A and B are shown apart, each in its own frame.
Chain A
C-alpha cells in the first residue's frame, strides 16, 4: 500500500496571555491508503490540534511548524492557503465532534451538501443533488431526497452526524479526519456511527484518522494506534500489538482504567493514574509523564529516547522487560 500521509516533527504553539502553550510537540506518524489510525489521549493532549493542523484550520493564535507534512504528493506545510483550500473538502475532509453546531442553521441540508461538490467538482446543481441523495442513502438516511429541503434544527444529533459524514464524502476524499465523531451522541447511536465508518472505509477504501479518548472505540475500528500525552505521541503500534502488549506506562494506565464487562463488578475501583496532566506553557523537557509514573528515574527529566520493536514505537527509558 502507498503512503498517503506523512507527518514529521509537527509542532503547534499557541500564544496565550500566560506564555506559549506547546499544544503539539514534535509529532510524527504516517498513514497508508485505506488505513485507520486512531489518535488516542485525554482532553488537552493535542490530538484535536494535530487534526486541525493537518487541515490548516488552526485558530489564528496557533503557530504551526513541521519538518515534513506530505499528503498525496503535496507539501501541506508549504502550500499557500488558496491551494490548501482546493484540497480541503475534496481530497481530505473532516467530521467534527459536535453535530448539533457543525451545520449552518441558516441553510438547508441540500444546500450545504451540494455546495461542497459544486465548489470542487464544478458540477451543476442537478449533478450535485444526485450525488447528495446517493450519499445520504449510503450513510443510511431514509427518504433522502426529502431531507435535502430540511434545516439542521429539524434533525436529531445522530442524523446530523450522518449528514456531516455524507458531506465529508461528497467529493470522494482519500483521507477522512474524524474528531471524536461519536462523543456527543448517545451510546446506541455511537455504535451505529462507528459501524458506518467501518463500512464506508471497507467500501470506499478511504484512509481515516479517528481521534478519540475512548479505547473501546479504538479496539473496534483501528488498524494502527498512536497514544498522545501532553502534546507528544508516547506510543504507537498496530492495534493488535498495542492491546496485546502496551509498553508505555501511560498506555498501561489507560488500559487499566477501562471497566471489563463481566469481570468488573459494580462498586469496584477502576485503575486510576495518580496526579494531573502537567502544564504545557513554557519550556517542557524530558518525559512529560514522569511525575505520575511509578517507574520514573532521575534520567527521565532529560531527553527520552524513542524505542522501537518492529512497528511498535514508544518514548520511554524502559525497554520491553518491564514488570507490569
Chain B
C-alpha cells in the first residue's frame, strides 16, 4: 500500500509540474501581457518599460521558473485590478467555493447513492423510471434556470431562505441544491449500472447462498465493488464544482473563487487568473490522487500484489 501510494504521489507531482507549465504558457499565449498591462493608448516606450520592469523580456523558461519559485513560496504577485496581494485575495474567496462544492457533492451523493441502488435492485420498476426521469431533468435543465425557479419558490414566495449573498448557512442551501442536482444524475446512473452488474456476479450469489441478510448482500458485498468507478467520477465532479460554479456563484451573489475568476478574466487581471487556474489544476491533481488512494482501499487487487 505504501509503495503504491508513493508511486501515485510521485506521478501526481509530475502532473502538477506539467499542468502548471501549461497554465503558464496558455495564459501567455492568449495575448501580449505587457500591452494588456499598459492599457489602451499606451506609447510603445511605456510598453517596453513595462516589459523590462515585469521581466517579460526574459526567455519563457526563465520567466516560468521565476514564477513557479515565487508560487511555491506563496508569492502570487499583486492583483492588477484589486491592487492587493493575490495570495490573500484567493485564500479569502476559497473557503466559500470549497464549502459550496463540498456541500453540493454531499447532497448529490446523498440523493444519487440510495436512488441508484434502488433503481438497480428493481430495474424497470416505477422507482427506476422515476430515477431516470429525475436524471433526464437534472441533466437537461440549465442550472441558472433551475436556480431562478428555486429562488422564486423558496426565497420570494415562501420566504424560507434568503435570495442571495454568502453571510449565513441558509445562503448555501439553494446553491447547494442546484449544483448537487446538476451533478447527481451522472453519479446515479453510474451507481445503477455498476450495481446491476455486481448484483449479477457470482460472489453476490455466494453471499446470498450464505444466507446473509439482503442489506448485508447489497450494502457490504455488492456496493463496495460497484463504488470503484463512482469514486473516480465524484473526484472529477468535485474538481468541476470547485472550478465550474462561476454561473451559480454569480446568480446567488456568492462571493467565491468562481466569481473572482470571472472578474479577473474580464479585467485582464493576469496574476489572479493565473493563480486561480494553477490552484484549481493542483486541486484537480490532488483529488485524482485522493480518488486513486480511495480506490486502492476499496479494491485490494489494486493495493495488494498477487502471489502467496
**Known interface pairs A96-B202, A98-B202, A155-B308; A106-B300 also in contact (CB < 8 Å):** yes
Do the beta carbons of A151 and B304 come within 8 Å of each other?
A: yes
Residue of chain B at shortest CB distance from A81:
B214
Do the beta carbons of B201 and A106 come within 8 Å of each other?
A: no
Do the beta carbons of B308 and A105 come within 8 Å of each other?
A: no
One of A87-95, A210-218, A235-243 contacting the partner: A87-95
How far, in Å, is A142 (CB) from chain B's closest CB? Answer: 11
One of A62-70, A115-123, A225-233, A258-266 contacting the partner: A115-123
Some 26 contacts from A to B, beta carbons below 8 A apart, are A57-B205, A85-B208, A85-B211, A88-B209, A88-B210, A88-B211, A89-B209, A89-B210, A89-B211, A89-B212, A93-B209, A96-B202, A101-B201, A101-B202, A102-B202, A103-B203, A103-B206, A104-B221, A106-B221, A116-B212, A119-B210, A119-B213, A153-B306, A154-B304, A155-B308, A167-B210
Residues of B within 8 Å of A156, CB to CB, are: 308
Do the beta carbons of B300 and A151 come within 8 Å of each other?
A: yes
Query: How far is B304's CA from A154's CA once the two chains are assembled, in angstroms?
Result: 8
Query: How far is B213's CA from A86's CA once the two chains are assembled, in angstroms?
Result: 9
Residues of B within 8 Å of A102, CB to CB, are: 202-203, 205-206
**Known interface pairs A153-B300, A153-B301, A154-B306; A119-B211 also in contact (CB < 8 Å):** yes
Residues of A within 8 Å of B212, CB to CB, are: 85, 89, 115-116, 119
Q: Mark A96-115, 1 if CB is under 8 A from B, else 0.
A: 10100111111110000001
Q: Does B164 have its Cβ within 8 Å of any Cβ on chain A? A: no
Q: Does B225 have its Cβ within 8 Å of any Cβ on chain A? A: yes
Residues of B within 8 Å of A74, CB to CB, are: none
Q: Does B224 have its Cβ within 8 Å of any Cβ on chain A? A: yes
Residues of A within 8 Å of B207, CB to CB, are: 104
Q: Does B307 have its Cβ within 8 Å of any Cβ on chain A? A: yes
Residues of A within 8 Å of B206, CB to CB, are: 96, 102-104, 164
Residues of A within 8 Å of B208, CB to CB, are: 57, 85, 88
Residues of B within 8 Å of A303, CB to CB, are: none
Q: Does A308 have its Cβ within 8 Å of any Cβ on chain B? A: no
In the complex, which residues 189-220 of chain B have their Cβ closer than 8 Å to any Cβ of chain A? 201-203, 205-213, 216
Residues of A within 8 Å of B210, CB to CB, are: 88-89, 93, 115-116, 119, 167
How far, in Å, is B163 (CB) from chain A's closest CB? Answer: 46
Query: What is the interface of chain B mostly: helix, strand, loop, or mixed?
Result: helix
Q: Does B48 have its Cβ within 8 Å of any Cβ on chain A? A: no
Query: How far is B221's CA from A136's CA once the two chains are assembled, in angstroms?
Result: 22
Residues of A within 8 Å of B300, CB to CB, are: 105-106, 108, 151, 153
Q: Does A189 have its Cβ within 8 Å of any Cβ on chain B? A: no
**Known interface pairs A103-B203, A105-B300, A153-B301; A94-B307 also in contact (CB < 8 Å):** no
Query: How far is B306's CA from A88's CA once the two chains are assembled, in angstroms?
Result: 32
The residue from B202, B205, B211, B308 contacting A120, defined by CB atoms under 8 A apart? B211
Residues of A within 8 Å of B209, CB to CB, are: 55, 57, 88-89, 93-94, 96
Select the residue from B202, B216, B301, B307 with max chain A CB neighbours within 10 A.
B202
Q: B residues engaging A (CB < 8 A)?
A: 201-203, 205-213, 216, 221, 224-225, 298-301, 304, 306-308
Residues of A within 8 Å of B308, CB to CB, are: 150, 154-156
Residues of A within 8 Å of B304, CB to CB, are: 151, 153-154
> How many interface residues does chain A have, given as a range?
20 to 34
Do the beta carbons of B211 and A105 come within 8 Å of each other?
A: no
Residue of chain A at shortest CB distance from B301:
A153
How far, in Å, is B33 (CB) from chain A's closest CB? Answer: 52
Select the residue from B202, B205, B206 with max chain A CB neighbours within 10 A.
B206
How far, in Å, is A57 (CB) from chain B's closest CB? Answer: 6
In the complex, which residues 18-45 of chain A have their Cβ closer than 8 Å to any Cβ of chain B? none
Select the residue from B210, B221, B300, B304 with max chain A CB neighbours within 10 A.
B210
Q: A residues engaging B (CB < 8 A)?
A: 55, 57, 85-90, 93-94, 96, 98, 101-108, 115-116, 119-120, 150-151, 153-156, 164, 167
Select the residue from B208, B298, B299 with max chain A CB neighbours within 10 A.
B208
How far, in Å, is A20 (CB) from chain B's closest CB? Answer: 19
With contacts A57-B205, A101-B202, A167-B210 known, what are 5 further pairs, Cβ within 8 A?
A: A93-B210, A103-B203, A104-B207, A105-B299, A106-B298
Do the beta carbons of B301 and A105 come within 8 Å of each other?
A: yes
Do the beta carbons of A154 and B307 come within 8 Å of each other?
A: yes
Residue of chain B at shortest CB distance from A105:
B301
How far, in Å, is B230 (CB) from chain A's closest CB? Answer: 14
Residue of chain A at shortest CB distance from B202:
A101
Residue of chain A at shortest CB distance from B300:
A151
Residues of A within 8 Å of B221, CB to CB, are: 104, 106-107
Residue of chain B at shortest CB distance from A88:
B211
Query: How far is B203's CA from A153's CA once the two chains are assembled, in angstroms?
Result: 13
Residue of chain A at shortest CB distance from B213:
A85
The 4 closest A-B pairs by CB, nearest first: A89-B211, A88-B211, A89-B210, A101-B202
Residues of B within 8 Å of A106, CB to CB, are: 221, 224-225, 298-300
How far, in Å, is B95 (CB) from chain A's closest CB? Answer: 36
How far, in Å, is B83 (CB) from chain A's closest CB? Answer: 55
How far, in Å, is A211 (CB) from chain B's closest CB? Answer: 14
Residues of B within 8 Å of A153, CB to CB, are: 300-301, 304, 306
How far, in Å, is A110 (CB) from chain B's closest CB? Answer: 13
Residue of chain A at shortest CB distance from B205:
A57
Do the beta carbons of A104 and B203 come within 8 Å of each other?
A: yes
Query: How far is B205's CA from A87's CA once the two chains are assembled, in angstroms?
Result: 15
Residue of chain B at shortest CB distance from A103:
B203
Query: How far is B212's CA from A107's CA once the two chains are assembled, in angstroms?
Result: 15
How far, in Å, is B120 (CB) from chain A's closest CB? Answer: 12
Do the beta carbons of B306 and A87 come within 8 Å of each other?
A: no
Residue of chain A at shortest CB distance from B307:
A154
